[in-house]
Each structure stands twice: as C-alpha cells, then as structure tokens.
Amino acid sequence: MSKQVALKPRLSEKTYAQSGSRVYVFDIPLNINKQTIAQAVTAQFDVKVSTVNIANIPGKAKRSLSKGGRLVAKGRTSALKKAYVTLAQGHSLPFFAAVEEAEAEEDKVAEKLAKKTKKKDKQ
C-alpha cells in the first residue's frame, strides 16, 4: 500500500455495543474507499476483515444569534465519513479492553459486598 491511512476509532456507547458483534467503527478521510479501509485495518491490527460499510454524513448548517436576535455568523460543521468494519469470526480489536476489565473488577467488588452482607444477616 503506497499511502498510509489514518484510522481513528469512534469510541462511544453505541460503538461499544456493536463491538460485541465484531463490528468496529472508524472515522476515515473523505477520499478513501472500502478496499483501502480493509487493507489498512488488516495491516495495522493483524485481523481478517469480513465486510466494510461506509456512511457519508454531510455537514450541518449552523448559525449564531446575538442577544438582540440579529444573525451574527453562519457556518457549517465538517462533513464526516465513517467505516463500519466487520471482522471475521474469532478476531477482535482491543479498543474496549480497559472498559471490560473495569466492568469485571466492579462485578468482583459487588460479589464481595454481597457475601459480607449475607454474613452479617446470618448473625
């Protein structure tokens, strides 16, 4: 691959939920196609890509008003392109590993607390 593609993962609650079904979301440059994304993910993370879906999100018009109600500025947000990458069976990416470890720790603490309260109730 002659050019490097900057893959920026989207880390949100929705993408965390999708990662359970091996679908990961990346913000990508506007001029990149599906094949290039698949090659970049394979090269960077050593995983096998099953499918790639792309969503083009156009920028939205924004405006600012002053206290008197006069229009101060007009503008637009930037356009965005997202790639939904589905990995092959048995492959995953480590983006949400820290979140899963924290959840496991919380579960352990909750179990210990439940055991202590159970002991106190028996006495």
For the chain, the structural domain boundaries read 1-92, 93-123
We find that the CATH architecture of domain 1-92 is: 2-Layer Sandwich (3.30)
Amino acid identity of residue 30, one-letter, is: L
Among 102, 85, 90, CA closest to 44: 85
What is the per-residue pLDDT for 64? 82
What is the per-residue pLDDT for 3? 62
Q: What average pLDDT does the structure give for the chain?
A: 86
Pairing of strands 71-76, 61-65: antiparallel
What is the per-residue pLDDT for 2? 45
Give the model confidence (pLDDT) of 73-92 as tens digits: 888 999 999 999 999 998 88
d(CA 86, CA 48): 9
| pLDDT band of 120, cuts 50, 70, 90 | confident
Amino acid identity of residue 77, one-letter, is: T
What is the per-residue pLDDT for 1? 46
What is the per-residue pLDDT for 74? 85
